[in-house]
Amino acid sequence: MARDLIPPAVRARLGARLFDVGDRAGNGSLGFPTRQATPARSFTEAFTSLSDVRGGSQDAVVFIDCIERFPYLELRVLFSRTFKALGPGGYVVIVWTAPWWARLRGAGGKGRHNTRTKREVLACLKAGGFRYGGAGSFRMGTKLWAWATK
C-alpha cells in the first residue's frame, strides 16, 4: 500500500534516491531498493541520518510507522530537515497508526506515545515547507497516510 502512495512517474525514476526512515527501515516494504535507510528509534537517530544526506539528493523520503515516536515540535523539525534532503519536486510519504487504533491496542506502552491526527501531520508538513499532496486511510481506518511535495 505505501508503495502506491508514490506517483508512478516518481516510482519510475526511483532507485538510489529513496531514503527510508522507519521501524524496519530498508526492509523493501516499498518494493524499491534504498540508497540509505535508518531505523527511527529516536528523534536523534532520524535527524542525524537525514542531516548526513546531501541537500537536494533524494527523490523521496518515506516514514513508515515511526512518526508516533516524535513529539510534535520534533516532528516539525524533522520535516524541515526532510524538505532540505529532497530535490526539486521530491516527495515525502508518511504512514502511521490511527490514534483511535493506537489507544484501543494500548500502543502507548510500546514506545509510541505520540498519536497523530491527519490535521497535525499536515500542519507539520506545511510548517516544513511542503505542498499538500493527499491524505487518507487504509486497513479499515487503522493506518493513516499522507504525502506532500517539495
Which regions of the chain are under pLDDT 70? Answer: 1-16, 23-41, 105-114
pLDDT of residue 4: 65
Question: For the chain, what are the domain ranges?
Answer: 2-149
pLDDT digits (tens, 9 = 90+) for 32-57: 555 555 666 677 778 887 888 888 88
CATH 3.30.230.70, domain 2-149, yes or no: no
Helices (H), 59-142: 72-85, 99-105, 118-127
Task: Say whether pTM exceeds 0.85.
Answer: no
pLDDT of residue 131: 96
